[in-house]
């Protein structure tokens, strides 16, 4: 039987085609990338090719077939790992991984049951191109000895690769003008330049942000300060200082979204205690309040609330800039006689909290070592919320007053598992086990908050406190839209719906105030810092903050999301589309454009403050640059 005569570069060609096809299939099966037209589909299919041509093409510089083949296998394996890392990350966060996230290794060991939910038995298929390549190397005859690749062949090869790169970028720029200068949305980047090129771009941005700190001299703050001062909302004289001297208890409610408040699930009330607070005479319930977190999720919520700045779009500030200078809410309260602390029954290194809390000037972190934790009182990520609140209030009785305590809950955390003895309502019935279990853990969280209030009253801490509670970020990602559409009785979940589903509850409970109500104004987490400080009579005029007092008559109903989306009382911008808020119908982009521009300005300013560590040059007491620090 006559043997097949394989072309000289068959192995290289197989490596490129196998990885290209696998990547294209992954785009359509593992990522929910919104494709609006044929051109976008063409770009999505094309965009891996230019990178693969360059990455695999380097093998043409090796004369030894053995070295060349080893290089091809190495690149194939490396790219498979990168692609699979994005798939696994996307399953949990509905987003693409970034360079800073890759270095968050301290968190990996504690993911536990979350990882078991993310990894599937068939995931070996993401490495199928490596297997195909090795098989091809076994069965395709090897060339003997060293074979020099002619320069004109290499030149022609890389000219084609470069041409495809420019074609890709040209088509992408046509579909998405200013693509590489408006990089808040990673899906848009992946859709247009591909996963692998996106990671190269991400490396460039990371290097650029690292250089920003080294080159910063504080002069950048002048423009930012002018913007902040021009957009300050005047204080509400009636509310300013009305509750000065009270303890402040801030409760960050894990993964709690607003769609469960005052709603039932198959006839079961999901949040009976929180529902009662929405009508309580001492509670301000903000029903159109939004989380503004990015990839840092829980830690981002902490950062936004403490600093009234946005997190970063590419990773958790707690990791990337944990050593920066900040003017946190904790620092302001500490300067006004408060004992400041965070209470969270987790390891102090998780999310780099041990370092970050020092930068935020938090006096004490009550971590896992401050609690009694055992198998009986733990589930998922650690101590259950009911014993957590019980033990936390006991710790509060030993604190000097006034104190500022920020409590972070755990039980309502993905994958939302709960022991049978703690299940107060049955599971939901949909095609999503995640959503089905979510209602049960939310119900448990609600019961734990009731226990918190009871414990505060019993220990005599309730009357002289302000209790602020907010959802930290979404619990149900867009990966579960089909199940969500079933629960919400919608045909489908659109980009408009997804934006509004980022609403999380905010409760400001002030015992004895008597003037509580539901507040329907659009607001976000970035507004909490000035709101809390003003209630206590602490001036924030010179503070470098982007939020506004929720009780101010000048508070603007404009909430910016970390990815550039926004919500106002009249408009919603999501999925690169402008919607009327009341109807959900698409409207002229010109209506959204001024807000789009402002959103980018504020996100840019926040990024500059963080990346340049600019607050080291700023004196918040005087509102002036620290001249001795300018270099």
Report the pLDDT averaged over residues 196-210.
80
- Rg of the Cα trace of the chain? 27
Pairing assessment for the beta strands 558-560 and 364-366 based on DSSP bridges: unpaired
Indicate if the pLDDT at residue 214 is higher than 90. no
Does residue 110 register a pLDDT over 80?
A: no
| 28, 225, 534, 537, 599 from 541: Cα distances, Å | 50, 11, 10, 12, 22
Inform me whether the pLDDT recorded for 100 exceeds 70.
no
- pLDDT class of 1 with cuts at 50, 70, 90: very low
Q: How far apart are CA 484 and CA 501, in angstroms?
A: 10
Q: Which of 63-77, 133-147, 274-288, 457-471 has the least mean pLDDT?
A: 133-147
Q: Quick one: pLDDT at residue 622?
A: 84
Residue of 23, 26, 278, 298 marked active site: 298
C-alpha triplet 622, 562, 185: angle, nearest 5°: 135
Segment 19-25 mean pLDDT: 94
What is the predicted pLDDT for the residue at 631? 41
Model confidence at 433, in pLDDT bands (50, 70, 90)? very high
3-state DSSP call for residue 269?
Answer: strand
SS3 547: coil
pLDDT at 348 over 90: no
pLDDT of 630 over the 50 cut: no
What the block records as the tokens of 592 is 């959204």
pLDDT at 422: 93
158: helix, strand or coil = helix
pLDDT at 315 over 80: no
pLDDT in tens, 476-485: 998 899 999 9
pLDDT at 119 over 90: no
Rounded percentage of the chain residues whose pLDDT exceeds 90: 69
Lowest mean pLDDT among 139-148, 229-238, 266-275, 412-421: 139-148
**Token digits of residue 476:** 């149900």
pTM value > 0.75: yes
pLDDT per position as a tens digit, 270-279: 999 999 999 9
pLDDT at position 629 over 60: no
What angle do helix axes 186-193 and 151-175 make, rounded to 10 degrees? 140
> So what's the pLDDT on residue 113?
54
Segment 573-594 shows an average pLDDT of 96
Q: Is 298 a catalytic residue?
A: yes
According to DSSP, the β-strands at 289-290 and 339-343 are: unpaired
Whole-angstrom distance, CA of residue 88 vs CA of residue 110: 16
- Residue-wise pLDDT for 411-423, tens only, equals 999 889 999 999 9
- Identify the pLDDT of residue 236: 95
Q: If you average pLDDT over every residue of the chain, what do you get?
A: 90
Asked if residue 121 has pLDDT above 50, the reply is yes
Q: How confident is the model at residue 198 (pLDDT cuts 50, 70, 90)?
A: confident
pLDDT, mean of residues 545-555: 97
pLDDT of residue 250: 98
**Spatial CB neighbours of 598, under 8 Å, sequence gap ≥ 6:** 558, 560
Q: Report how far residue 55's alpha carbon sits from residue 46's, in angstroms, rounded to the nearest whole number.
A: 15
Q: Specify the pLDDT at position 372.
A: 94
Res 116 pLDDT > 70: no
4 pLDDT exceeds 60? no
Instruction: List the end-to-end C-alpha distance of the chain, in Å, as a whole number.
Output: 78
User: Would you say residue 179 has pLDDT above 80?
Assistant: no
């Amino acid at each position: 039987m006559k043997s097949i005569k394989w072309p000289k570069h068959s192995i290289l060609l197989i490596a490129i085609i196998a990885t290209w096809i696998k990547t294209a299939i992954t785009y359509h099966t593992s990522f929910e990338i919104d494709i609006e037209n044929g051109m976008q589909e063409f770009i999505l299919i094309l965009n891996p090719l230019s990178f693969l041509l360059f990455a695999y093409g380097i093998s043409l510089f090796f004369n030894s077939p053995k070295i060349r083949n080893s290089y091809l296998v190495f690149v194939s394996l490396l790219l498979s790992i990168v692609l699979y890392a994005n798939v696994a990350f996307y399953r949990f966060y509905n987003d693409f991984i970034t360079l800073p996230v890759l270095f968050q290794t301290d968190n990996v060991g504690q993911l536990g049951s979350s990882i078991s939910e993310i990894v599937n038995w068939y995931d070996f298929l993401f490495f199928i191109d490596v297997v195909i390549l090795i098989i091809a190397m076994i069965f395709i005859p090897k060339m003997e000895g060293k074979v020099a690749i002619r320069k004109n062949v290499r030149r022609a090869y890389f000219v084609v690769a470069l041409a495809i790169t420019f074609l890709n970028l040209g088509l992408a720029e046509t579909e998405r003008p200013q693509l590489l200068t408006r990089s808040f949305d990673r899906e848009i980047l992946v859709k247009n330049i591909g996963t692998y090129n996106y990671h190269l771009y991400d490396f460039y941005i990371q290097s650029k942000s690292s250089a920003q700190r080294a080159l910063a001299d504080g002069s950048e703050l002048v423009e930012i300060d002018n913007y902040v001062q021009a957009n300050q909302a005047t204080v509400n004289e009636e509310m300013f200082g009305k509750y000065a001297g009270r303890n402040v208890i801030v409760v960050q409610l894990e993964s709690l979204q607003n769609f469960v408040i005052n709603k039932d699930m198959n006839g079961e009330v999901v949040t009976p205690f929180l529902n009662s607070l929405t009508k309580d005479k001492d509670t301000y319930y903000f029903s159109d309040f939004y989380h503004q977190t990015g990839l840092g999720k829980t830690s981002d919520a902490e950062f936004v609330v403490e600093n009234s700045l946005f997190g970063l779009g590419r990773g958790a500030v707690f990791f990337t800039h944990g050593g920066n200078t900040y003017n946190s809410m904790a620092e302001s309260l500490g300067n006004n006689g408060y004992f400041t602390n965070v209470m969270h029954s987790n390891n102090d290194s998780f999310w780099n909290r041990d370092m970050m809390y020092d930068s935020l000037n938090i006096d004490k972190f009550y971590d896992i070592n401050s609690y009694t934790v055992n198998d009986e009182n733990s589930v998922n990520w650690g101590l259950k919320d009911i014993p957590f609140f019980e033990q936390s209030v006991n710790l509060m009785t030993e604190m000097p007053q006034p104190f500022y305590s920020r409590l972070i809950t755990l039980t309502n955390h993905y994958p939302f598992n709960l022991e049978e003895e703690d299940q107060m309502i049955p599971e939901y019935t949909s095609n999503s086990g995640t959503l089905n279990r979510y209602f049960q853990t939310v119900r448990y969280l609600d019961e734990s908050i009731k226990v918190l209030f009871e414990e505060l009253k019993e220990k005599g801490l309730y009357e002289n406190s302000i209790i602020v509670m907010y959802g930290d970020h979404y619990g149900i990602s867009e990966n579960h839209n089909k199940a969500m559409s079933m629960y919400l009785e919608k045909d489908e979940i659109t980009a408009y719906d997804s934006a509004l589903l980022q609403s999380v509850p905010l409760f400001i409970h002030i015992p004895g105030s008597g003037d509580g109500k539901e507040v329907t104004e659009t607001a976000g987490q970035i507004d909490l810092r000035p709101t809390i400080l003003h209630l206590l009579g602490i001036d924030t005029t010179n503070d470098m903050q982007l939020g506004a007092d929720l009780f101010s008559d000048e508070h603007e109903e404009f909430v910016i999301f970390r990815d550039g989306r926004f919500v106002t009382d009249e408009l919603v911008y999501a999925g690169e589309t402008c919607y009327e808020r009341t109807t959900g119908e698409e409207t002229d982009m010109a209506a959204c454009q001024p807000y789009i521009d402002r959103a980018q300005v504020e996100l840019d300013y926040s990024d500059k403050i963080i990346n340049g560590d600019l607050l080291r040059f700023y004196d918040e007491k005087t509102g002036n640059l620290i001249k001795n620090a300018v270099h």
